[in-house]
Amino acid sequence: MISKKMIDALNKQIEEEFYSANLYLSMASWCDKEGLSNSAAFLYNHFEEESSHGMKIFHYINEMGGHAIVPGIKQPPFEYKSIHQVFEDTYQHEVYITEQIHKLVKLAIEESDYATNNFLQWFVEEQREEEATFQEILSILKLIGNGPTNLYFIEQEIAKISAKAHTDSSE
Ligand code: FEO
């Protein structure tokens, strides 16, 4: 039996996941505008992934006899100083999302809700992978540096990471 408190917390996480989707969509659009098409493609892909995370929780709540609520989503930022800022923000955002997932796991354990705890373990692993991917991007960006002529090399590296992340998520 899932508690009202757990359902409310999961509904809140739907909002976090859909906000993440919109945040990455906004970043993708900024990259597109700047001609950074590989970074844009990577972030469009991430928009889809985050939407699917939100829907995964959405369906789980209803399967468990709860009521999934379509959230209102605040507008994400749409201007960025640089591609470095975009990826620094993605990393910080994923760290924040991991904290939220861990709070949900803590609540499920406190409530002896083993089904929800089990359901959430997929997200625990997903967050570990996402943090690792964004951390890798930040390390590469740091190595390449932030001169305007370095954007070409950044785009090449993002394409490689994007291909790898896509292969991993389809395995
Ligand atoms: Fe679904 Fe990357 O948080």
CA dihedral 116, 120, 122, 127 (to 10 degrees): 180
How many folded domains does the chain comprise? 1
Query: What CATH number should be reported for the domain holding residue 157?
Result: 1.20.1260.10
| Domain membership flag for residue 76 | no
Among 147, 121, 138, 18, CA closest to 75: 18
| 77 neighbors 92 (Cβ within 8 angstroms) | no
> How many whole angstroms from its chain centre is CA 28?
13
Taking the centre of ligand 1 as the mean of its atom positions, its distance from the CA of residue 7, in whole angstroms, is: 19
Q: Which residue is closest in CA terms to ligand 1's atom 1?
A: 50
| Domain membership flag for residue 74 | no
**pLDDT at residue 170, as a whole number:** 56
**pLDDT at residue 147, as a whole number:** 78
Among 103, 7, 14, CA closest to 54: 14
Average pLDDT by stretches of 10, the chain with 171 residues:
96 98 98 96 97 98 98 97 96 98 98 98 97 95 86 92 74 54
**pLDDT at residue 109, as a whole number:** 98
> How many whole angstroms from its chain centre is CA 47?
8
Place of tokens 């997932």: 101
Taking the centre of ligand 1 as the mean of its atom positions, its distance from the CA of residue 20, in whole angstroms, is: 7
Among 134, 148, 19, CA closest to 72: 19
Ligand 1 atom closest to residue 98's alpha carbon, by position in its atom list: 3
Taking the centre of ligand 1 as the mean of its atom positions, its distance from the CA of residue 149, in whole angstroms, is: 31
What 8-state DSSP symbol labels residue 104? H
Taking the centre of ligand 1 as the mean of its atom positions, its distance from the CA of residue 99, in whole angstroms, is: 11
Among 46, 49, 10, CA closest to 137: 46
Q: What lines the ligand 1 site, CB under 6 Å? A: 17, 20, 50, 53, 94, 97, 130
Q: Which domain holds residue 102?
A: 4-69+81-170
